[in-house]
Amino acid sequence: MSDSLYRAFFRVHDGLPRQAPGSDDMTREALRRLGPFPEGARVLDLGCGPGAHSLVLAEALRAQVTAVDRHGPYLAALERRAAERGLAHLIRPVQADFAALEEQPGSCDLLWCEGAIYLLGFAAGLEAWRPLLRPGGRMAVTELTWISEAPSPEARAFWSEAYPAMGTIASNTAAAEGAGFEVLETIVLPQHAWWDDYYGPLRRRVDALRAEAEADPDLAAAIREADREIGLYERDPHSYSYVFYLLRSRPR
C-alpha cells in the first residue's frame, strides 16, 4: 500500500470505536467462557486498535493490560478513553509491531487479539505468540472465517481477492491444534457485533467524507472499498463471520 493510500485508509478509519467487528458484550462473554484468572494476571492485547477490548479486559479482570498497536493515534485514543473510565492505571499502551515483540517468553497468562491476527496469518500468528504464554495460559482470538459450506459466489469472489487465506472453523481448529493449543470453544459473532460499533460508524464516516473525496482519488478509493465490504455483508451475512477461537496452550 502506498503512503497516500495508507493515509487515506486511516482518514476513513481513525476515530471509530472499533477497527473490526466485535462488541463489549462478546468480549466479556469470551472472557467468561475462558474461565477465571489469577489475581494480577498478565494480559497482552495484540493489535488493540483504539482499545475497546483492552478496556473491557482491564475492567473485568482488574489487571494491567499491555495494549500493543503500531498506529500511534489508536493508542492515544485508548489512553483518553481509559482516563475517562478511570482505568488509566490498568492500561499500558505500547507502540510496536506485534510480529516482533520484546515480551519475555512464558510471561503472560492471557493473550487477546480481536480482528488483527490476519496480518500475520492465523496459523503463523498462533505459532509466533504461543511462546509468550505461561504453561496452561489461554488465548482468545477472532478470525474472519467461512461459516457456510456453500458461500455465495459474490462472497467467494470478494474474499478470494481480499483475504484468500480465509479458512473454515474446522481448518482453523486444526491449525490451532497444530500450533500447540487446545481449542476450548468457538463462538460465531452475531450480526449486531458487525453493525453497532463497526459497520454502522464506518458507514457514517464514509458518508461524511464523500464530498472531500471528490478532490482526493486515494480517499475516494478507500471509500469505495469500504462501501463494497459493507454492502457485501448487508446482502450476505450468512457465508462468513468473525469467530472467536478460545484456546489453551498445551505442553509440548
Q: What is the C-alpha radius of gyration for the chain, rounded to an integer number of angstroms?
A: 18
Residue 96: count other Cβ atoms within 10 Å of its Cβ.
16
Of the chain, the end-to-end C-alpha distance in Å amounts to 39
User: Is 214 within a domain?
Assistant: no
Residue 92 falls within a domain, yes or no?
yes
Q: Is the pLDDT of residue 243 over 70?
A: yes
Does residue 138 sit within a domain? Answer: yes
Write out the residue range of the structural domain in which residue 150 sits.
18-190+240-249
State yes or no: pLDDT of 3 exceeds 80.
no
User: Would you give the DSSP letter of residue 132?
Assistant: G
Task: Say how far residue 122 (Cα) sits from the centre of its chain.
Answer: 12
Q: Please determine, for residue 72, whether its predicted confidence score (pLDDT) is greater than 80.
A: yes
Q: What are phi and psi of 28, to 5 degrees?
A: -65, -40
CATH of the domain at 181: 3.40.50.150
Residue 106 lies in a domain: yes
pLDDT at 1 over 60: no
Answer whether residue 166 is part of any domain.
Answer: yes
The model's pLDDT over 132-160, given as tens digits with 9 standing for 90+, comes to 999 999 999 999 999 999 999 999 999 99
Q: What is the pLDDT of residues 171-189, one digit of tens each?
A: 999 999 999 999 999 999 9
Residue 33, in any domain of the structure: yes
Residue 80 lies in a domain: yes
Domain count, the chain: 1
Q: What's the CA gap between 226 and 222, in Å, rounded?
A: 6
Does some domain include residue 199?
A: no
Mean pLDDT across the chain:
96
pLDDT tens for each residue of 14-64: 899 999 999 999 999 999 999 899 888 999 999 999 999 999 999 999 999
Residue 237 has pLDDT above 70, yes or no: yes
What per-residue confidence (pLDDT) applies to 39? 87
